[in-house]
Chains A and B, each alone.
Chain A
Amino acid sequence: MTVIEQLQAEPHNLWKRIVLFLVLLGLVVWGSDSVSYNGITAQGSVVASGILHGITHPNPAFLFNLTETGVPYLVLQTIAIAVLGTIFGAILAIPISFLSSTNIVPKPIAYIFRALILLIRTIPSLVWALVWIRVTGPGAFCGVVTQSICSIGMISKMYITAIEDLDTGILESLDACGCNTFEKIRVGILPQLSASFVSTAIYRFDINLKDATTLGIVGAGGIGSPLVQAITYSRWTNVGAFLIALIILVLIIEYFSTKIRSRLARGAQA
């Protein structure tokens, strides 16, 4: 077959492309009427230059203030919220995900628990925080409880995939060797699940860390609420200090979590 013939043998889907393009264009046109640009506000240019000035000149006294209102303490508190939220979420997700795996329990029960997971996932974490704040009062503890609940949704979804991929042939061969139930779980199930479970938890920790900042806006502790306060009161050098700390924190955590997760996926040697 010559090159020309090969080229002509390619499927002709010009019409499909035109339709797809028109649909996208239609969506943009439909949406654009609500997203109208009204120009910047009166103090808009002041805010913009303030932010730029703040990021290039972060308040050093604030950045290295080691008391409870300083940046290092708030960053550590944000990490603490994410750590506890992830660990509790990961533990709470284990029973729920086993109960919603179709190869462990009958289908109707699995679907009930899946609906529960879907419900947890759809309610935004901010709303969960607003609900829990009534119970725990404002503070970092509210953030921990909120993240423990919110994490269940995504973590269980990933756990379920891992559980449903379980190789049950191993269990049969262990049965043939005369293992009891405990031994079967220890050497047949745990090694299959542990890597993906830990990997999921670390991935969620990444997300929770960013989420913990957001939760601070409603008063759930961490770096979020002082950051938003600083934005509202236009203390741009403090905003700069917060943002720089936040960016460095997220970059470091992302780097290590990617490293650990690729090691978990490929084994220690890789």
Chain B
Amino acid sequence: MADSKLEKKTKLFDRIFKPEHIVLDNGHTVDRPKSRMPLILICLAVVIIISMKMTGFDFGIIIRRAKELPVILGKIFHPKFAYFPKVIKPLIETIKMSIIGTIIGCLIGLPLSIMASTNINRNKPSLLVCRFILSIMRSVPTLIYASVLALVFGLGTFAGTLAIVIFTVGIVAKMLYESIETIDMKPYEAMVSFGATTLQAFWAACMPQILPTYIDDCLYCFELNVRASSILGYVGAGGLGVLIRERTGLRAYNDLGMVLLTLFIVVLAIDFMNDYIRSKIS
């Protein structure tokens, strides 16, 4: 009986490729399973070959046309500083879009994450619906949202901000419900047994536990959003992307270099600021 149960548990792989039987000096026997590595490598090789066929992979093109690259990169790395005044307005637009988008998105994400965590919300249907909506929000890229919203709300920052809000809600709520599910539930249960409602108990018992993670997630999202919102303008949703599209269209790569340099400095500054806030919190 016990043997047949064990037999069932052996993986298909071990039944086809029998494990090596080793008899030790003291008479005990050990089964050494065959390495999975060859199988994994073969699968990987097949996937790579199929992918190369499908994408028209041809390393020769890079070698033959490699001289094009230094021309463009050379221009990008010699930014035209005279172009800077024109970068400021879209830059501020981009930052404003990401600030507003992040704040609104994080505020909406908090209640949704409470609804989507299995240890707080005991109602299975509402939990599943909430999680499903959140995964859909995450799975469509921001740029696609922005291009649709730009058609609905007209070109400009409103569509971009809305796209960022949708993306932020999806990602913040996911990160947050994952951390809510790992918290210590004893204070929450104590509060509920005193007669507190779910929301009161959550606010008093769970909120202090997840607050540092929540702020951390919001800062992380802000970093992501600054990067994302800088290209949203490519589909007409305002910010630096408008310039990126215009300048590459005109092949004015020196100007593009200036735009990228500004973005680089801003992203770096925001990263430093966030690291500072994080070190203050923890």
Contacts and interface: CB of A to CB of B under 8 A. Distances in A.
Nearest to A48: B152
Nearest to A140: B55
B1 interface: no
Nearest to A44: B152
Interface size class of A (residues with CB under 8 A): 35 or more
B147 A87 contact: no
B97 interface: yes
Q: Which 5 A-B pairs have the closest CB atoms?
A: A250-B139, A80-B51, A140-B55, A31-B96, A80-B54
A43 B150 CA distance: 11
B110 interface: no
| Dominant SS among interface residues on chain B | helix
A228 interface: yes
Nearest to B162: A35
Contact of A44 (B97, B153, B244): B153
Contacts of B267: 122
A35 B157 contact: yes
A14 interface: no
A144 B158 contact: no
21 contacts: A28-B100, A28-B103, A32-B100, A41-B151, A41-B154, A77-B55, A83-B51, A84-B51, A122-B227, A124-B227, A127-B248, A127-B260, A134-B72, A136-B65, A140-B55, A144-B57, A213-B141, A228-B235, A231-B148, A247-B135, A251-B135
Contacts of A135: 61-62, 65-66, 68-69
A123 B139 CA distance: 23
Contacts of A228: 144, 147, 235
A41 B153 contact: yes
A77 B151 CA distance: 27
A227 B144 CA distance: 9
B263 interface: yes
Interface in B178-237: 227, 230-231, 234-235
Interface in B22-71: 44, 47-48, 50-52, 54-58, 61-62, 65-66, 68-69
B156 A38 contact: yes
A230 to B, nearest CB: 11
Contacts of A143: 55
A47 B55 contact: no
Nearest to A87: B48
B206 to A, nearest CB: 17
Interface in A6-65: 24, 27-28, 30-41, 43-45, 47-48, 51
A238 interface: no
B96 A35 contact: yes
A6 to B, nearest CB: 13
A217 B153 contact: no
B6 interface: no
Nearest to B93: A34
Centre residue among A87, A124, A227 by max chain B CB count within 10 A: A124
B155 to A, nearest CB: 9
Contacts of B147: 217, 228, 231
B193 to A, nearest CB: 15
B240 to A, nearest CB: 9
Interface in B91-118: 92-93, 95-97, 99-100, 103
